[in-house]
Structure 1
Amino acid sequence: MLLLDRLVGLDLVSWTLVGLSVVLLVHLVPYLFDPHAIRKYPGPLLARLSDIWLGWVAAHGHRSERVHELHQKYGTFVRIAPNHLSISDPDALQVVYGHGTGTLKSNFYDAFVSIQRGLFNTRSRPQHARKRKIVSHIFSQKSVLEFEPHVRTHLALLFKQWDKLCEGGVKGLSGEEGEGGWRGREGRVWYDCLPWYNYLAFDIIAGDLAFGSSFGMLVACKDSAPVAVSHKAAMAAYGDSAARDIEIQHFPAVQVLNDRGEYSASLGVLPPHWRPLAKRIPWFSKGNQAVQRLAGIAVAAVAQRLANPENDRVDLLAKLQDGRDDNGDPMGREELTAEALTQLIAGSDTTSNSSCAITYHLARNPHVQRKLQDELDQALAGDDDPVATYESVKRLPYLETVINEALRIHSTSGIGLPRLVPEGGLTVCGKFFPEGTVLSVPTYTIHRDASVWGEDVEAFRPERWFEQDKVAVQKTFNPFSFGPRSCVGRNLASLELLVIVASIFRRYEFVLEDPEYELETREGFLRKPVECKVGMRRRNV
């Protein structure tokens, strides 16, 4: 009590001194003590003393670019937090993320947990092994091919909408269509293609494949999804006919997903003991609301889907229900919903972001677009179906290099994913790091390594894939991460991108209104285009 009375009686100057003392104790002492022996590595002064620097950078949406600038300034090793070292050497990938090295996900991933831990955010090796065993068979190449009809159905629906826009462009009309303004001029429709890629991706993966029915965004031309008002009530009605009557509201799912990504990526770089305080800040409060709404989308969709047990369609949820671990046990209610949510987030974001980036780069490089269209015209000659099949396009070399080059220059996951050094320490690129050190390899930066990709690393040039050393490229190209925690859905992502890009660029031609227009991006956990304004018209094929 005496101490408390003395603290209450302190004046402003005294409180300031107390605050400075706490700051010195919390930040300066660990820096001087240097428990992980990384004080010798360069980086911003504030980053060496506090996690605030990385939190600030992450919250402003350009973490990958900022860390890349630091590597250009300081070299291979950069300290981006008191206990976090970024390593920009492709050789570090196999050590930091590879099989058998024993590294674990850091507490960064705790900020991504909502319903319960899923395949993406669990930090336990046994839990991850169990979940991956259940989930991995779903994304085998054989299983993924069963999903192709759903992808092609939604692409055909997108084409109906885009053909209407193209007709308006030919007539020189102008007006509003759905959420995005568009106008017709010079035989083209000028519009922002990003929302349409969001609608397509959400209707395919987040609706049709994950939950058994489309969200209907392509039909409504609107970003909207049903959200369970009460997670508890929806989970209680799980699999029961009462689930059909759960209370729902509709929210813009894409915006919710974006807000959640920025919130979690910013919160995750802060120390765990700071996070409860950070959540009181208005910006973080908004993000926490997005987390709850995004979980509500999965809770509502799964409850509704399982209320119709007679539905025998082949989709991700059905395969998740059928999955069993080593003991023969299926996933429980919450676990099933958490995994479905993981697929919603991972599948929709990556597909829409990558499709949009590919469209931008092809519109900005007309000669590349024409070369791709020549390959598509030749390979698909005589095929009247507007939507290509995976079988017809899976071995087209230029199509593959166009997609790979876009994934190189616009990696949806560009940040260095943090890993904890295990017991016994780890040697990376000739440097030893003790147990508990956080290491990461930034994909954005290694995808711009001039020694691997050539001096023109910022140029979109698919031809480099035929020229560069294949071994160096193979060990450096990292769009789906690496090792046991790599993206389990890469087969589905590859199928989607091949079919989507081939079908769209065989049917349409895209240009930029301003040839010097730069694609603006914003990064939460994933790096996303903000908008992508293009001119589009139908091709004569």
Structure 2
Amino acid sequence: MLLPSVEVLATPEAPVWAFVLGIMLHVFFLRVGEWDLATVRLIVGFWATIAGLSVCLWLRVPQLQHNLWSSSKTAIALGSSLLAGMYASMLVYRAAFHRLGRFPGPFAARLSNLWITGKSIQRQDKCLVIQDLHRKYGDIVRIGPSELSIVHAAAPEAIHANRTTCVKGPWYNILYPLESLQMIRNKDVHSVRRKTWDRAFGSKALRDYEPRVKGYTAALVQQIDARLGQPVNVTEWFNNYSFDVMSDLAFGKSFGLLASGGKRHYFTETLHADMGNVGRFSHVPWLFPVFKAMPVLNAENKKFWAFVTALVDERIQNPPKQPDVFSWLLEDYQALPHPTAQDRLNLQADAHLICVAGSDTTAASLTCLFFELVCHPDAAARLQAEIDDYYAGTPEAGQNHLALSKLEYLQACIDEALRLHPAVPGGVQRLTAPQGLQIGEHHIPGSTVVQIPTHTINRDARFFAEPDEFIPERWTSRKDLAIEPSVFVPFSTGRYSCVGRQLGLMELRTVTSELMRRYDFRLVPGQDPQDFARGKVDAFTLACAPLQVVFTPREQAK
């Protein structure tokens, strides 16, 4: 009975039936659900099937017996026909019959996420690519087969508010099997773990962290004092500062970047390289499991996570005298009656998240704030005057961060820098519920990946007058310039909003107030501000180009 069925596979008609089978696989099976985490299993399964079929043909088909190469070629031809049918069906469906067909966008983007990925690799300023697409196609642009970029006043509320029906999209699987708080897609699981993080960044915890923030701020000031009158790459030094703070809060010790005078560190160098890859390949999350499964190519990834594991183990064995963020997470972990291997992986992922989420974003925000201040001396002078008045009239000025939070113009400058240079330029990914989502007059179909491009929506003239200009007064005395301020959500909103917001603001306010009251500063002669603006990289989080600044002491500094 087996012989006739196997012989059919060697007939001239067999590739045609394989092609039809490929179409059926796509239409009835692969078209539904998410397959990103199954990529490796699918690839291995396909080639295992080809190998098994080759042996079967070799053993059971008379004309192919004793010729394994011929049977292998036949099996590969059948597999190729199946793939051709599957991809042909996929391309026709995406181009002509997909549920997102009515939304405009580049034709190539309808067919594959490789289009937007290619743009990301080619230019590394995907946020500007997306901005150009919205200028051409309108508020809703199809940037992938099942992905929409949305710029609409109602979008932040609909997609990110607490009552939204949207969930996190497939991008959040890229660290699998590690699952930090940021990567949790299940809302109930996220809510449970978020409670621990909320305590870790509560008002009491922040008071414990404040001395560390001030200590590293003082170390940063020392390094600038040693370089007065000389070019200082503030991009690099703000990175050193933010990573020292967050490594202390995550691992119980800093990386020593400030103390070493800016010496490179393995963690930060590897992390920046990884974030570059995340930015380039964020629209093809299926590629990450493949990369991690490939020997040699995954060697650096394994080395990095072994390094993180060693840091976590060392931190567990050497608890600090003062609680840090990791203290709260460790307490929660140790309270588990029977911690699993997955629980341990999640603890390592959370330690990594503390260091990453609070460093790259803070460093980029500080750099962009000082870029705007150095380009707008009037705003810098007004901010210095506010800070001078504060220190002159507040005996405990350097002792209480809460007092700094009441400086109106300081917060306005921070907000305006965050508007022009959002820490996550492309926004974060969400997936609509099966019933779809209503945004204004637009209905978004279910199971659609949606994203609000932060850079684009923050620079839309419908929402902010003179959108490309640094005008802190739009948040104070000229609120008419903020036409639709609700779209400005620099720390996101809803259940997935940034848990470390207050710590990040503490760092921004502390560093800015200290540097502004002590120094005057200017760009290094010959540096074109546009070089910095053009050199920013959308690596999921914003990566800044070098910004060379000369600091000089202020005569009235106190």
TM-score of the superposed pair, with normalisation by structure 1: 0.82
Q: Deviations over 1:440-463 (max 9, x none)?
A: 111111111212210x21111211
Tell me, yes or no, if structure 1 residue 98 matches structure 2 residue 144.
Answer: no
User: CA 1:202–1:317 in structure 2 vs 1: closer, same or farther (change >3 Å)?
Assistant: same
Which deviates more, 41-50 or 474-483? Answer: 474-483
Q: Do the aligned residues in 2 keep the contact of 1:111 with 1:267 (CA within 8 Å)? A: no
Residue 374 of structure 1 is matched in structure 2 by 385
Instruction: Give the deviation of 1:323 after TM superposition.
Output: 3.6
SS at match of 1:86: strand
1:267–1:278 CA contact under 8 A, matched in 2: no
Q: 1:55 aligns with which of 100, 117, 128?
A: 117
Once the two structures are superposed, residues 384-403 of structure 1 have per-residue CA deviations (whole angstroms, 9 ceiling, x without a partner) of: 99967413421111101010
Q: Aligned to 2:227, what secondary structure does the other structure show? A: helix
- After superposition, residues 427-506 of structure 1 pair within 5 angstroms as 427-454=438-465, 456-466=466-476, 467-469=478-480, 473-506=484-517
Q: Which residue of 2 aligns with 1:83?
A: 146
Instruction: Map 1:11-90 onto structure 2 (within 5 A).
Output: 23-34=87-98, 37-59=99-121, 60-90=123-153
- Say whether residues 1:536 and 2:536 are aligned partners: no
Cα pair distance change 1:149/1:317, threshold 3 Å: same
Paired with 1:104 and 1:326, the residues of 2 have a C-alpha distance of 29
Q: 2:469 aligns to what SS in structure 1?
A: coil
Query: How many Å separate the matches in 2 of 1:308 and 1:280?
Result: 33
Aligned: 1:414 with 2:388: no
- Stretch deviating more after TM superposition (258-267 or 143-152): 258-267
Superposition deviation, residue 6 in structure 1: 7.8
The one-letter code sitting in structure 1 at the alignment partner of 2:554 is R
CA contact (8 A) 1:388 1:503 kept: no
Alpha-carbon contact 1:223-1:254 (below 8 Å) kept: no
Where 1:510 maps in the other structure, the secondary structure is strand
Deviation at 1:149, TM superposition (A): 0.3
In the TM superposition, residue 536 of structure 1 has moved relative to its aligned partner by 1.6
The 2-side partners of 1:302 and 1:514 are apart by 45
- Determine if contact 1:55/1:267 at 8 Å carries over to the other structure: yes
For residues 507 and 337 of structure 1, do their structure 2 counterparts lie closer, same or farther at Cα, with a shift above 3 Å needed?
A: same
* Of 262, 275, 279, the match for 1:222: 262
Match of 1:270 in 2: 284
Query: Does structure 2 conserve the Cα–Cα contact (< 8 Å) formed by 1:360 and 1:532?
Result: yes
Report the counterpart of residue 350 of structure 2 in structure 1: 339
User: 1:129 aligns to what?
Assistant: 191
The answer to which of 297-306 and 151-160 deviates more is 297-306
Greater shift in the superposed pair: 23-32 or 117-126: 23-32
Q: Structure 1 residues 291, 397: CA separation in 2 closer, same or farther (over 3 Å shift)?
A: farther
Deviates more, 1:56-65 or 1:341-350: 56-65
Q: How far is 1:289 from its partner?
A: 5.4
C-alpha distance in structure 2 between counterparts of 1:326 and 1:474, whole Å:
43
Distance (Å, rounded) in 2 between the aligned partners of 1:495 and 1:152: 10
1:58–1:524 contact (8 Å) kept in structure 2: no
The answer for the alignment partner of 2:174 in structure 1 is 111
Matched residues in 2 for 1:460 and 1:384: separation?
Answer: 32
Cα deviation for residue 26 of structure 1 reads 2.8
- Equivalent position of 1:300 in the other structure: 310
Do residues 257 (structure 1) and 320 (structure 2) align?
no
Contact 2:292 2:301 in 1 (8 A): no
Cα drift, residue 363 of structure 1: 1.0
Unmatched runs of 5 consecutive residues or more in structure 1 = 167-187, 226-250
Out of 355, 375, 379, the position equivalent to 1:364 is 375
Of 319, 334, 340, 2:328 maps to 319
Distance of aligned partners of 1:328 and 1:279 in 2 relative to their CA distance in 1, 3 Å threshold: closer
Q: From the superposition, tell whether residues 326 and 75 of structure 1 become closer, same or farther in structure 2 (CA, over 3 Å).
A: farther
Counterpart CA distance in 1 for 2:124 and 2:346 is 31
* Distance of 1:333 and 1:320 partners within structure 2: 11
Q: Does the C-alpha gap of structure 1 residues 432 and 386 become closer, same or farther in structure 2, counting only changes over 3 Å?
A: closer
Native 8 Å contact 1:61 1:522 kept in 2: yes
Of 148-157 and 463-472, deviating more is 463-472
CA contact (8 A) 2:196 2:328 kept: no
How many Å apart are 1:16 and its aligned residue? 10
Equivalent residues of 2:423, 2:541 under 8 A apart: yes
Q: Shift of residue 76 of structure 1?
A: 0.4
Alignment correspondent of 1:8: 73
- Which amino acid is 1:264 matched to? V
Amino acid at match of 1:30: R
Q: Could you say what secondary structure the match of 2:537 adopts? A: strand
8 Å Cα contact 2:108/2:115 also seen in 1: yes
SS in 2 for 1:342: helix
- What residue is the counterpart of 1:144 in the other structure? 206
Unaligned stretches of 5+ residues in structure 2: 1-8, 15-53, 55-69
Change (3 A) 1:302 1:324: closer
| Residues 178-198 of structure 1: per-residue CA shift (max 9 Å, x gap) | xxxxxxxxxx21131111111
Measure how far apart 1:434 and its partner are: 2.6
Distance, in Å, in 2 between the alignment partners of 1:409 and 1:121 is 26
| TM-score of the pair, normalised by structure 2 | 0.79
Cα offset for 1:304? 1.1
1:155/1:45 CA distance change after superposition, 3 Å: same
> Contact 1:411–1:527 (CA<8 Å) still a contact in 2?
yes
Larger radius of gyration: 2
Q: Deviations 1:298-329 (Å, cap 9, x if unpaired)?
A: 322221121124x4322111122234799999
Instruction: For 1:29 and 1:453, locate their aligned partners in 2 and report how far apart those are by CA, in whole Å.
Output: 39
Distance in 1, Cα, partners of 2:384 & 2:299: 44
Structure with the higher helix share, 1 or 2: 2
Q: Aligned equivalents of 1:325 and 1:216: distance in 2?
A: 29
Matched residue count: 483
